């Protein structure tokens, strides 16, 4: 069976930060599964591009996935309002599965309370939040600390996905 990777989605997601990882994961032989909050049948990106969730967060089982990727944009601010989405990320992290976040995804990582003592990066506007959650923040295109991978912005996607695919292949 093909290993599944969860991709979280909510309204106002950053287009490239959802679709680039989804396509790259397919190329690498993984099955990407879009997981939504359950509030809508379709979520629109910052530019109006639709994403239809394959599954709802409260029905997602962390045991079924090898990783979760959290795209940025304004979506993480919506995601963190849904306890099932935050709990899914928390469970993935606790099970030592890969948790990867880009751009504003750090907001979800803060709410999941998984940054204390970790190295991380994020979009600059949430740098203080990431630091206040206990992380050591670095202004680098990708930061890998155990089962946590973070990046700053869409420009970092090649390095971000290279690190994700390498991590998954090294397990």
**Which residues have a catalytic role annotated?**
103-104
Q: What are phi and psi of 33, to 5 degrees?
A: -125, 120
Angle (deg, nearest 10), helices 15-27 and 157-170: 40
Separation CA 130–CA 64 (nearest Å) = 28
Q: Who contacts 105 (Cβ-Cβ below 8 Å, separation ≥6)? A: 17, 70, 71, 72, 76, 122, 150
Residue 92: partners with Cβ closer than 8 Å, 6 or more residues away: 6, 62, 65, 67, 68, 98, 99
């Amino acid at each position: 069976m093909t290993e599944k990777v969860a991709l979280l989605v909510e309204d106002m997601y950053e287009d490239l930060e959802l679709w680039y990882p989804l396509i790259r994961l397919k190329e690498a032989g993984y099955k990407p599964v879009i997981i939504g909050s359950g509030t809508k049948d379709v979520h629109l990106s910052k530019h109006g591009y639709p994403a239809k969730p394959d599954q709802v967060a409260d029905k997602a089982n962390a045991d079924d996935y090898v990783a979760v990727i959290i795209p940025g944009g304004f979506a993480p601010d919506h995601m963190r309002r849904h306890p099932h989405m935050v709990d899914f990320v928390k469970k993935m992290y606790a099970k030592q599965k890969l948790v990867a976040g880009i751009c504003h995804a750090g907001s979800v990582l803060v709410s999941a309370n998984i940054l204390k003592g970790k190295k991380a990066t994020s979009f600059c506007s949430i740098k203080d939040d990431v630091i206040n959650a206990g992380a050591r923040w670095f202004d680098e295109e990708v930061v890998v600390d155990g089962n946590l991978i973070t990046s700053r912005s869409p420009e970092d996607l090649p390095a971000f996905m290279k690190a994700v695919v390498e991590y998954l292949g090294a397990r």
